[in-house]
Chains A and B, each alone.
Chain A
């Protein structure tokens, strides 16, 4: 077998940097190519390497190192979403069918079929863009990203740059949006986990605290409210945590489109280029084994703030025609993307401002140094652009120009570093074929088998354990680390209630500072849905449950879900494993059915695969298949927004939606140590009717508080509403509308049937509420608020099931993370 040689000719003193070429590349066997790819973390498959070899054979030369790195970055899973865009033979229930493109046949298909006129840009830009407000002048950009691999190695820097990256996505949506909301969701091992870890692994508690500090330190300096998020703990994340960061921004409608033209200058703005973060894009396609540590990056939020301020000024003066951010792959991906849009580009890397003078040209091209943007600027506007950026103490430099050559040409001084056909980069990627298998779980888990909760534990004990569970307990010690008030538009905050410490369902943002209007009261709400426990049983129903939960959270604050938009974030293990891929396919199919059922399109999304780490025994451990759904919807009048805390005694409590014995994957089942039967099955049509009825009632002002039922079911929801409002609640279990016959108070209190909301209605307007909300298929009065600060539950036999002081319940709920972090 021949070996390719990395050849670096010696340069004469004072001469240009030497060229590195992959000498002998054209003559390598498939095995030799694979070895070369592995050594250099290119993460290219055999077919991809052979396609590259064939291209360079036609070119009649070995590739330069920068060219191979460009191919690797541009064809990476991170940049091209190969698994979602390649054919899959999917087997389920003994039948196999071919999916030509999972993306086109699920997520994009739903968006295409729903054809919502308010979707302005979906799946093609750095973020999804939808219309905003009544005036027709504004749009809302939405994006959620993951930064899992960097966070597994260096959680502080990884989480910080994850947030920085998604903020830049919003700055690069259309011609740039002003960020008005940031979000974060963390999935980690339990904070009390002290089990042995393999060498180099970060303990979950330390990882979580570092990630929180990273997001806080970066986000707080940017002046963007971080007002929505979540935490999820489970053993499956102890080696590979998941870190999601999201952002929403406002931009003028005229700035939604962008197109560079030949003759435009290619301008790099922001931070200097250093030797940090090289191979981030390809690194995210490999299992974490400690071999790819150069990918760690450290953020510089002050530089990002300078870019933010300068860029939006330049946008409003229409000084540039195209903008994108330098994310994974650095200039190699950003400039190539621009070149693809414009038909070609030529750049000279010797112009790039550097952190270290000894960077080789291919390193400048590949570096993922943070806080950099690439713009296409008409030459006549350059001076004005330079003035704006200079005033913000932000460096910009002309790297090259847009040319209609059909190629990306990269030079360093007089040296040709790369010269690649865009047609090859765009269309030369061979489509891998994969196999996926889904095996249905045992009937006991999914079916509606009779319950057996005879564990001898009282409902009060289960409730106490549920409230103290890390996945339910108070997040105040995390939320308070973030500035969620900056910009003065956070109408509904993450913490609510009398003492501003209750758990909100969604945040409501009134972006008046961004739109410069104080007359209208148009805002938007944003929420999340995530439940990996359901995914372990059936990812299809997990997907529906996540969409249902995210939309339900929006309903709880009064957002208009008829114009809701969804973002998807899939985090899975290696798609090379047919069973892992099978569960991913099943979740994507669930997303399609959820989007169609709820009539709600996906506008953007991201997949992060290969989330696997070797454990101490050397075995690859994938994360649980995890789907994060982010939902956003307009709030027509932010003054009508609703919070979750009980407002007064003597008010009736209505429960929207039927209750079934849905305990598979539930918190109650986990607490009792039982498998539980009945995975929640969402009926989107019925759910939507109920949600619309609730929104109609909220619009009339006949809902005082609303809170969704999720982990821990009715009991946890009632407890949280009670102690947040500091009034008691009396529930009557025989008033609950059941699907099937349920005799167990535990099932009634802790079932996690989907699409349910508990509502507080003003006693003097109850009749009006019932009339307005008559469209809800199932809506029952199940109790009343009381002055006595207790949670009292009357069982089916009329006897008391539970009578707990709400102060004690709150104390249990509040102490878990406080103690873990102390």
Chain B
């Protein structure tokens, strides 16, 4: 039910799309560490409600997967000016993930399934064009949760699909994170 790879199927679809010559990037946008994170707090409350009281903290982030005739510099500019509010948020452009074995922190990605329309896609494509950047051929938005606490992977996965995401429309991936 949960993908073991850190790269979800929605993003993988973009990465493996026929336009293989176009570059593929993933940008993660998170609230600055000193700011309260209501989405993370809500996820924590739900996980506690599900009985996972050993979880201490959940932080959330948005993640964008963008494909198109873009350079790294274009993506930095887009991340700074379009995808991220520099006053309250930080961004990072992700390289391939290496799961950190033995970590108590789990990184969960939740994406809409490829066959489900992503209403954010239109806005992202239009925003790139309006900012004078090359228009990407496709874009998707997902959510990332960093879950801190000692909990068995199988239990966490079972809980995530019932309390945080909906396997009907979502692809979920979970992996230990540094």
Contact = CB atoms under 8 A, between A and B. Distances in A.
Whether A associates with B in a native complex is yes
A154 B115 CA distance: 15
B119 A209 contact: no
Nearest to B44: A822
Contact of A275 (B49, B50, B115, B168): B115
B168 A296 contact: yes
Contact of B122 (A203, A298, A302): A302
B103 interface: no
Given A157-B169, A203-B162, A206-B162, A300 B117 contact: yes
- Residue from B46, B117, B122, B123 with most neighbouring chain A CB atoms (10 Å): B117
- Residue from B49, B51, B115, B123 with most neighbouring chain A CB atoms (10 Å): B49
Nearest to A160: B119
Contacts of A302: 119, 122-123
A298 B121 CA distance: 13
A246 B122 CA distance: 27
Contacts of A503: none
B42 interface: yes
Interface in A267-297: 274-276, 293, 296
- Residue from B41, B42, B51, B168 with most neighbouring chain A CB atoms (10 Å): B168
A164 to B, nearest CB: 11
Contacts of A203: 49-50, 162-163
Interface string B37-68: 00001100110011100000000000000000
Given A203-B163, A209-B42, A821-B45, A298 B116 contact: yes
Contact of B163 (A206, A274, A276, A821): A206
Nearest to A355: B117
A205 interface: yes
Contacts of A194: 49, 51
A762 interface: no
A356 to B, nearest CB: 8
Contacts of B116: 276, 296, 298
Interface string A147-158: 000000110110
A300 B46 CA distance: 26
Contacts of B42: 209, 821
Contact of A300 (B49, B112, B119): B119
A676 interface: no
A157 B112 CA distance: 11
A199 B48 CA distance: 20
B93 to A, nearest CB: 26
Contacts of B49: 194, 203, 205-206
Given A194-B51, A296-B168, A300-B122, A205 B112 contact: no
Contacts of A202: 162, 166
Contacts of A298: 112, 116-119, 169
Interface string B104-115: 000000001001
Contacts of A154: 166, 168-169
Contacts of B166: 153-154, 156, 202
A611 B116 CA distance: 25
Contacts of A293: 168
Contact of A206 (B41, B46, B115): B46
Given A153-B168, A154-B166, A203-B163, A822 B115 contact: no
Contacts of A299: 119
Nearest to B42: A209
A139 to B, nearest CB: 32
Given A275-B115, A298-B116, A822 B168 contact: no
A79 B173 CA distance: 40
Contacts of A393: 126
Contacts of B118: 298
A55 to B, nearest CB: 34
A396 B117 CA distance: 19
- Residue from A206, A209, A355 with most neighbouring chain B CB atoms (10 Å): A206
A277 B49 CA distance: 31
A209 B46 contact: yes
Interface string B142-171: 000000000000000000001100101100
A783 interface: no
Interface in A703-748: none
Contacts of A300: 117, 119, 122
A300 B116 CA distance: 12
Nearest to A199: B162
A575 interface: no
Contacts of B45: 821-822
A34 to B, nearest CB: 27
A301 interface: yes
A276 B117 contact: yes
A90 B162 CA distance: 42
A109 to B, nearest CB: 42
A206 B42 CA distance: 10
A298 B168 CA distance: 12
Contacts of B126: 393
Contacts of B115: 275
Contacts of A296: 116, 168-169
Interface in A134-181: 153-154, 156-157
A368 B168 CA distance: 17
A810 B51 CA distance: 30
Nearest to B121: A300
Contacts of A157: 169
Contacts of B162: 202-203, 206
A276 B166 CA distance: 16
A209 B45 CA distance: 11
Interface in A326-368: 355
A393 to B, nearest CB: 8
A300 B141 CA distance: 14
A355 B119 CA distance: 12
A274 B117 contact: yes
A442 B7 CA distance: 61
Nearest to A290: B168
A296 B169 CA distance: 8
A675 B123 CA distance: 55
A821 B42 CA distance: 7
A606 to B, nearest CB: 25
B176 to A, nearest CB: 25
Interface string B69-80: 000000000000
A695 to B, nearest CB: 42
Nearest to B162: A203
A599 B105 CA distance: 64
Contact of A301 (B50, B119, B163, B169): B119
A205 B46 contact: yes
B47 to A, nearest CB: 10
Interface in A288-318: 293, 296, 298-303
A369 B119 CA distance: 12
A521 B163 CA distance: 47
A296 B167 CA distance: 12
Contacts of A369: 117
Nearest to A157: B169
Contacts of B123: 302
B55 to A, nearest CB: 14
B159 to A, nearest CB: 10
- Residue from B41, B46, B112, B169 with most neighbouring chain A CB atoms (10 Å): B169
A156 B166 CA distance: 10
A672 B51 CA distance: 29
Interface of A: 153-154, 156-157, 194, 202-203, 205-206, 209, 274-276, 293, 296, 298-303, 355, 369, 393, 821-822
Given A298-B118, A369-B117, A821-B45, 15 more contacts: A154-B166, A154-B168, A154-B169, A203-B49, A205-B49, A206-B49, A209-B42, A276-B116, A296-B116, A299-B119, A300-B117, A302-B122, A303-B119, A822-B41, A822-B45
9 contacts: A157-B169, A202-B162, A206-B46, A298-B117, A298-B169, A355-B117, A821-B42, A822-B41, A822-B45
Q: Considering the complex of A and B, which 3 residue pairs feature the smallest CB-CB distances, nearest first?
A: A300-B119, A206-B163, A298-B117
